[in-house]
Structure 1
Amino acid sequence: MTELLNSIILVTGANGGLGREFVRQALDRGAQKVYATARKPQDWDDPRIIPLALDVTDPASVAAAAEAANDTTVVVNNAGSGNRSRLLSITLSDLRSLYETNVFGPLTVAQTFAPVLAKNGGGSLVDIHSALSWVSTPSAYPSTKAAFWSLTNGLRIELAGQVTHVLGAHLGFADTRLTAGLDVPKEDPRDIVAAIYDGLEAGEHEVLADDATRKIKGKLSEPLEALYPQFAATPVEEQ
Structure 2
Amino acid sequence: MTERLDDRIVLVTGANGGLGEEFVRQALERGAAKVYATARSPRQWDDDRIVPLTLDLTDAGSIAAAATAAPDVDLLVNNAAIAPASDGSIASADDDVLRSVFETNVFGTIKVSGAFAPVLARNGGGAVLNVLSLAAWTPIPTVYAASKAAAWSATNGLRTELAAQGTTVTGVLVGMIDTAMGARFDVPKVSPASVVAQAYDGAVVGAFEVLADDDTRMVKGLLSRPAEDLGEATAQAMAAIAG
* Local SS of the residue matching 1:227: helix
After TM superposition, what 4+ stretches of structure 1 lie above 4 angstroms from structure 2? none
Matched, 1:24 2:25: yes
Asked if structure 2 preserves the Cα contact closer than 8 Å seen for 1:13 and 1:78, the reply is yes
Query: Partner of 1:236 in structure 2?
Result: none
1:88 is displaced (CA, Å) by 2.5
For residues 86-114 of structure 1, the C-alpha deviation after alignment (integer angstroms, 9 at most, x for no partner) is 11232123201110000000000011000
Moved more, 41-50 or 178-187: 178-187
Cα distance in 2 between the residues matched to 1:98 and 1:182: 19
Query: Partner of 1:204 in structure 2?
Result: 207
Unaligned runs of 5+ in 2: 236-243
Asked if structure 2 preserves the Cα contact closer than 8 Å seen for 1:225 and 1:231, the reply is no
Query: Quick check: which has more Rg, 1 or 2?
Result: 1
Which structure has more helix as a fraction of its residues? 2
Cα distance in 1 between the residues matched to 2:165 and 2:215: 34
Residue type of the alignment partner of 2:178: D
Unaligned runs of 5+ in 1: 233-239
* Local SS of the residue matching 1:197: helix
Query: Partner of 1:237 in structure 2?
Result: none
Matched, 1:102 2:105: yes
1:67-106 matches, within 5 Å, as 67-83=68-84, 84-106=87-109
Query: Partner of 2:59 in structure 1?
Result: 58
Return the TM-score normalized by structure 1: 0.93
1:231 is displaced (CA, Å) by 9.8
Cα distance in 1 between the residues matched to 2:162 and 2:4: 18
Asked if structure 1 preserves the Cα contact closer than 8 Å seen for 2:140 and 2:234, the reply is no
* Local SS of the residue matching 2:114: helix
Matched, 1:218 2:215: no
For residues 38-59 of structure 1, the C-alpha deviation after alignment (integer angstroms, 9 at most, x for no partner) is 0000110000000000001111
1:24-173 matches, within 5 Å, as 24-83=25-84, 84-173=87-176
Asked if structure 2 preserves the Cα contact closer than 8 Å seen for 1:4 and 1:30, the reply is yes
Return the TM-score normalized by structure 2: 0.92
Aligned-residue Cα RMSD (Å) equals 1.5
Asked if structure 2 preserves the Cα contact closer than 8 Å seen for 1:155 and 1:166, the reply is yes
Asked if structure 2 preserves the Cα contact closer than 8 Å seen for 1:9 and 1:72, the reply is yes
1:167 is displaced (CA, Å) by 0.5
Matched residue count: 231
Asked if structure 2 preserves the Cα contact closer than 8 Å seen for 1:14 and 1:23, the reply is yes
